């Protein structure tokens, strides 16, 4: 049995058996090497090479920053800010959910973190206002997808490292697609809520003084993405250094300005961030071994050539790539998918003349959709835990939002303008 075939065979058997994705990747790689008489002594070197990249330090720092921002009370202030501006309109809380998800995405860089931060407040609030609980939970789960598209994005950090493209350019390229996804979710939400017209409790219109007060309270939270992205694009810090700055800034705001973080909270914050960071880095370590075996066996090259042999039509190839990624996203997380599919698809993308930045954006949007599709949708699991709504109910009620996300995916895939206009306009290389 060839190295490449045994690699995928072991992986899918282990994944089907219910083993965690990281373990399945690692065991499949080791078993394939062993059966094909490769020296297992290469494993420590490959694992170290996968993890020993300065840029990857951004991941634990951004995760820590997201946890700090949540403990600092920034999410509830952002929700209040959105509330005073749009909660008085019909279906306003649905709009608030998506808008706040965009704001928090620019702080956390993580889908599940975004769901956790906004869901604990907004799902009960929407239910109290007459919204269907299943609808509320599914909308929060779908809105969490924006967390890995709008910068800073942990997913873009991994893609940038593997594809060897500018993470700063990826960050800025994700802004318009992230907003586009949010608009699609809002449109579908308002369409679904038409049948409840007149039944939902609407907030009164806020006064100018209340809006100004909400803005002042949320100001320090709103400054977070400005500091992170401004530092990167101003040439002051690298993305990795910006992540460290975000941690320091979050602690300063949480301890000295909002005064919601106490010294006794630091151990809990570090524990939560450490567990999240370890989970991601564990996946990266074993996915790196998997990708190395895939490349060393030349199986990735063979698969790339076979993909190109199916058709030379650019539109059809992009469609085929999206279908493969959508299916994969139902079973594996974004970090693992990058390691598995980039060695195969990146040569194809370059051959058909697609900008790797555009590919990075639409691949990330694609894999974000996987976070709300069963059986391994992290965001729907998180929303289910927060709301108490069954996974079965959320999986059904999230489908209109999946369709809305597919519309955004199609636009980002076939119209490069959405990804390239902003970085080109401001001259980000």
Alpha-carbon distance 122 to 133, whole Å? 11
> Which range among 79-83, 195-199, 219-223, 412-416 shows the weakest confidence by mean pLDDT?
195-199
Alpha-carbon distance 122 to 369, whole Å? 21
Average pLDDT over residues 241-249: 90
CA quadruple 300, 304, 309, 315: dihedral, nearest 10? 150
Alpha-carbon distance 52 to 55, whole Å? 9
CB 176 within 8 A of CB 150: no
Alpha-carbon distance 256 to 246, whole Å? 15
Kindly state the tokens that stand for 340.
Answer: 């598995």
CB 201 within 8 A of CB 130: yes
Q: Residues for the chain: how many in total?
A: 429
CB 368 within 8 A of CB 150: no
210 burial via Cβ count (<10 Å: 0-12, 13-18, 19+): middle
**pLDDT tens string 8-36:** 788 888 878 877 777 888 888 888 877 77
Kindly state the tokens that stand for 282.
Answer: 């564990």
**pLDDT tens string 254-289:** 999 999 999 899 999 999 889 888 888 888 888 888
Check residues 280 and 143 and name the one with the higher pLDDT. 143
Radius of gyration over alpha carbons of the chain, in Å?
A: 22
Check residues 88 and 206 and name the one with the higher pLDDT. 206
pLDDT reported for residue 2: 65
CB 4 within 8 A of CB 294: yes
pTM as predicted: 0.87
Q: Which of 50, 43, 36 is nearest to 5 (CA)?
A: 36
Whether the pLDDT of residue 225 is over 80: the answer is yes
What is the separation of C-alpha 197 from the centre of its chain, rounded to a whole number of angstroms? Answer: 33
At which residue do the structure tokens 């927060």 appear? 386
At which residue do the structure tokens 């700090």 appear? 68
At which residue do the structure tokens 């609030």 appear? 125
pLDDT reported for residue 76: 84
Alpha-carbon distance 288 to 340, whole Å? 9
Alpha-carbon distance 136 to 119, whole Å? 9
Alpha carbons within 13 angstroms on the beta-carbon side of residue 31 total: 17
Q: Where are the domains of the chain?
A: 41-425
């Amino acid at each position: 049995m060839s190295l490449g075939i045994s690699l995928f065979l072991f992986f899918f058997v282990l994944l089907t058996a219910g083993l965690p994705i990281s373990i399945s990747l690692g065991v499949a790689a080791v078993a394939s090497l062993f059966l094909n008489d490769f020296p297992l002594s290469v494993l420590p070197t490959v694992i170290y090479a996968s993890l020993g990249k300065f840029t990857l330090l951004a991941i634990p720092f951004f995760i820590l920053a997201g946890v700090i921002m949540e403990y600092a009370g920034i999410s509830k202030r952002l929700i209040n800010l959105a509330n005073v501006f749009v909660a008085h309109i019909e279906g306003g809380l649905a709009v608030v959910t998506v808008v706040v998800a965009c704001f928090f995405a620019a702080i956390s860089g993580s889908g599940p973190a975004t769901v956790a931060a906004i869901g604990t407040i907004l799902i009960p609030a929407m239910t109290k206002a007459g919204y269907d609980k299943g609808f509320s939970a599914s909308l929060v789960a779908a809105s969490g997808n924006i967390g890995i598209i709008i910068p800073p994005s942990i997913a873009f950090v991994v893609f940038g490292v593997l594809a060897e493209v500018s993470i700063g350019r990826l960050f800025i390229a994700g802004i318009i697609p992230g907003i586009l996804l949010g608009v699609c979710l809002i449109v579908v939400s308002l369409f679904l809520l038409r049948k409840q017209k007149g039944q939902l409790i609407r907030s009164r219109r806020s006064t100018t003084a209340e809006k100004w007060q909400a803005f002042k309270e949320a100001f320090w939270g709103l400054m977070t993405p400005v500091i992170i992205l401004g530092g990167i694009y101003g040439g002051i810090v690298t993305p990795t250094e910006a992540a460290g700055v975000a941690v320091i800034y979050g602690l300063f705001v949480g301890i000295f300005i909002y005064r919601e973080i106490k010294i006794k909270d630091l151990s809990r914050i570090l524990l939560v961030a450490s567990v999240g960071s370890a989970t991601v880095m564990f996946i990266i370590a074993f996915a790196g071994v998997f990708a190395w075996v895939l490349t060393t066996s030349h199986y990735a090259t063979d698969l790339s050539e076979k993909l190109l042999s199916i058709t030379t039509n650019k539109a059809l190839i992009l469609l085929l790539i999206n279908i493969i990624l959508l299916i994969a996203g139902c079973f594996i997380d974004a970090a693992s998918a990058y390691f598995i599919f980039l060695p195969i698809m990146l040569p194809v993308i370059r051959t058909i003349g697609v900008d790797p930045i555009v590919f990075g954006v639409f691949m990330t949007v694609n894999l974000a959709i996987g976070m709300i599709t069963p059986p391994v949708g992290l965001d729907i699991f998180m929303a289910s835990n927060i709301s108490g709504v069954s996974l079965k109910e959320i999986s059904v009620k999230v489908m209109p939002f999946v369709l809305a996300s597919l519309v955004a995916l199609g636009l980002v895939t076939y119209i490069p303008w959405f990804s390239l206009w902003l970085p080109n306009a401001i001259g980000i290389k």
